[in-house]
Amino acid sequence: MIPKTWHSVPLQRYVDLMQGLADEDENDNIWSNQIRRAVLLTGLSVKEAKKLPPSSAKQIADLLKTELPKALIVKKFHIGGHWYRVITKPHRLSTGQLEKRIADARTMPTKRVIGGIMTKAKEEKWHQALFSCCEPIKRKRFLGIPIGWKVEELEDWEVEERVKAFKMLPMGIAYPIVVFFLTLSNRLSSHIDTYLIKEIQKIKEQLDSELLEINTDG
């Protein structure tokens, strides 16, 4: 139930857990904090989290000591019932296409209820920025036989749900995308607007610093 690495942990659950840890007070009940951590990490209800074995607290503590995924970027992945491809060659897209994707992804975050716990509204739009780094794709077929992939054009009404699905993007996919785009940031500057680069830079700084802070304090 408690993961041993960050690879399979959804982006939003990582964000929620880091926010929960930041909100903890040294005067809080230790047992309550352990339950809250389990709820934020797993998505279980409070009632379900209370049934976890005592060893789960140590498992979460061990997880917090592990590094974020540094594997090679996954160029093609499936999330929310749809396929996406990371834009590893942004020069293939026009400035207008990129600007539209970035504008589509800028939606306002809201408060969320997780397992009975209300979380704060987040200013960070990490999943939106990651959505902008990818393009939806679908199978090309010839006589019913799949022969490759093509970019899928989305209707305006589809975008919001597609963006929301990126909240559940596993960290094993999300974090390498962040690292990849920052590595190429100088080459991408003429193709992707500075807003997206700044958003990606912020993601990496906060993902890294929050985990480092937790380990330093612990």
The pLDDT tens digits for 107-121 are 433 344 444 444 443
Domain spans in the chain, listed from the N-terminal domain onward: 11-64, 76-217
In which residue are the tokens 């610093």 written? 209
Q: Which amino acid is at 181?
A: F
Give the rounded percent of residues in the chain with a pLDDT score beyond 70: 70
Task: Quote the pLDDT of residue 162.
Answer: 92
Q: How many helices (H) and strands (E) does the chain have?
A: 10, 6
Q: What is the torsional sign of CA 80, 37, 111, 69?
A: negative
Q: In whole angstroms, what separates CA 204 from the centre of its chain? A: 11
- The answer to whether 31 touches 49, Cβ cutoff 8 Å, is no
Q: Say how far apart CA 11 and CA 9 lie, in whole Å.
A: 6
Task: Quote the pLDDT of residue 122.
Answer: 45
Q: Which amino acid is at 191?
A: H
Task: Quote the pLDDT of residue 111.
Answer: 42
The pLDDT tens digits for 94-145 are 666 655 555 554 443 334 444 444 444 344 577 887 888 889 999 888 877 8
pLDDT class of 16 with cuts at 50, 70, 90: confident
In which residue are the tokens 């690292």 written? 179
